[in-house]
Amino acid sequence: MIKDRDFTEMGNLQQLELQNNQISVIQGGAFTGLDSLQLLLLQNNNITLHFGYQNPFTKLPKLQQLDLDMNQISVIEDDSFTGLSSLQELSLHSNQIREINRRAFTELSNLDALILDNN
């Protein structure tokens, strides 16, 4: 589990690698304070993207690359990537995606690469 404010004191951090950690829960404020983060690697965990009212990714204004490969994602909801206007690459390969809501990627205006293979 990544808890609220786990990284609050790391405001200058640009790269965070959390792959292969069996993470299943990311609380809404988990990435609060990571205003400089550009790369977030979360592949090979147990993440589902069911965040409810508090999406942890909305607190990452400079994030350019998000890797969620090999997790437990089955549905991509409309608000899954809200607030990631700087995101250029989103990788979701090797999940179990069976449904993508119509507006799931509409706020990703700078997205250059969307990787959805092996789902």
What's the rounded mean pLDDT across residues 30-44? 96
Which helix (H) or strand (E) segment holds residue 65: the answer is strand 65-67
Q: What would the two tokens of residue 83 be?
A: 């607030």
Residue whose C-alpha is closest to residue 73's, from 48, 94, 98? 48
| For the chain, domain boundaries | 1-92
Query: 68 phi and psi, to 5 degrees?
Result: -120, 30
pTM tops 0.75: yes
CA separation for the pair 81, 66 (Å, rounded): 10
Q: What local confidence, expressed as pLDDT, does residue 52 receive?
A: 65
* CATH number 3.80.10.10 given to 1-92: yes
Q: What local confidence, expressed as pLDDT, does residue 53 receive?
A: 67
Query: Is it the case that residue 51 has pLDDT exceeding 80?
Result: no
